[in-house]
């Protein structure tokens, strides 16, 4: 179960970005995020993002075993809870955690009262908190897209210390369009924009993840839908 330990510097970078994200998703973005993850009418641009997120969520869930009974899953960055509900319906014991208390509150309200063999325990806090326990599978959908590649690797190394079978996550793949949008975003005052999405070179990230002892990258796939572009990657215990 050994992994390469993240350095204090990387964790400091993770902590600083985490606090910015908590403030953003519990403040400026709360209403927009609730609408985006519901059936509410949204603009054409946001509709493409919604469709892309639904495709990505479906794919990540399908990368997990179909029968998740007697299986513990961490939904790291659960947002309003759709992925947690999907996995619980397959029988998983889900620990769902997010730094945004307002989104977790909505997730609790949306969760059905009956989930068959499954169960969801909702938490507000840090996905790296060891008090959350140990898991068979970890899923981090679009919760690492605001981090530098080194922080992504360090975060997965930390999560991997408490994961027995697989970790599936997404990142923002570097494309000419996303790179240009990332650069242009820096021209605006920080108070007028959301925390930046960080474009990541997929090949370099895969190479870096190859240094995590006990883990191997098995598959990766990109979902592109209008203004939504995200790439999934799977790490399996070896």
Q: What is the pTM of this model?
A: 0.84
- Cβ neighbour number for residue 220 with a 10 Å cutoff: 16
d(CA 82, CA 234): 20
For residue range 146-197, what is the model confidence (pLDDT) as tens digits? 899 999 999 999 999 999 999 999 999 987 665 555 454 443 334 444 567 8
Q: Which domains does the chain have, with CATH numbers?
A: 8-237 (3.40.50.150)
Q: What angle, 0 to 180 degrees and rounded to 10, lies between the N-to-C axes of helices 8-25 and 149-160?
A: 100
Residue 59's closest CA among 237, 228, 238?
228
In SS3 terms, the chain reads as: CCCCCCCHHHHHHHHHHHHHHHHHHCCCCHHHHHHHCCCCCCCHHHHHHHHHHHHHHHHHHHHCCCCCCCCEEEEECCCCCHHHHHHHHCCCEEEEEECCHHHHHHHHHHCCCCCCCCEEEEEECCCCCHHHCCEEEEEECCCCCCCCHHHHHHHHHHHHCCEEEEEEEEECECCHHHHHHHHHHCCCCHHHCCCCCCCECHHHHHHHHCCCCCEEEEEEEEEEECCEEEEEEEEEEC
What pLDDT score does 19 carry?
A: 72
Kindly tell me if the per-residue pLDDT of 26 is higher than 90: no
| Mean pLDDT of all residues in 24-41 | 70
For residue range 85-120, what is the model confidence (pLDDT) as tens digits? 999 999 999 999 999 999 999 999 999 999 999 999
| Mean pLDDT of all residues in 1-30 | 59
d(CA 5, CA 143): 20
For residue range 203-225, what is the model confidence (pLDDT) as tens digits? 999 999 999 999 999 999 999 99
Confidence of residue 49 (pLDDT cuts 50, 70, 90): confident
């Amino acid at each position: 179960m050994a992994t390469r330990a993240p350095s204090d510097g990387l964790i400091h970078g993770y902590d600083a970005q985490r606090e910015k994200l908590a403030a953003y998703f519990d403040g400026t973005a709360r209403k927009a995020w609730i609408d985006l993850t519901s059936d509410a009418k949204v603009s054409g641009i946001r509709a493409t993002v919604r469709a892309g997120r639904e495709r990505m969520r479906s794919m990540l869930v399908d990368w997990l075993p179909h029968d998740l009974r007697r299986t513990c899953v961490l939904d790291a960055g659960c947002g309003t809870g759709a992925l947690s509900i999907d996995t619980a319906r397959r029988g998983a014991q889900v620990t769902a955690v997010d730094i945004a208390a307002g989104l977790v509150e909505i997730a609790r309200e949306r969760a059905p009262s009956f989930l068959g063999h499954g169960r969801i325990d909702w938490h507000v806090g840090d996905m790296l908190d060891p008090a959350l326990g140990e898991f068979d599978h970890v899923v981090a959908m679009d919760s690492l897209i605001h981090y530098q590649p080194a922080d992504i690797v360090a975060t997965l190394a930390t999560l991997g210390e408490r994961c027995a079978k697989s970790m599936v996550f997404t990142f923002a793949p570097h494309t000419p369009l996303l790179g240009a949008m990332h650069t242009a975003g820096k021209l605006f005052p920080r108070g007028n924009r959301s925390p930046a999405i960080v474009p990541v070179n997929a090949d370099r990230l895969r190479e870096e993840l190859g240094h995590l002892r006990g883990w191997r990258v098995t598959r990766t796939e990109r979902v592109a839908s209008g203004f939504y572009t995200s790439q999934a990657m799977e790490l399996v215990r070896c």
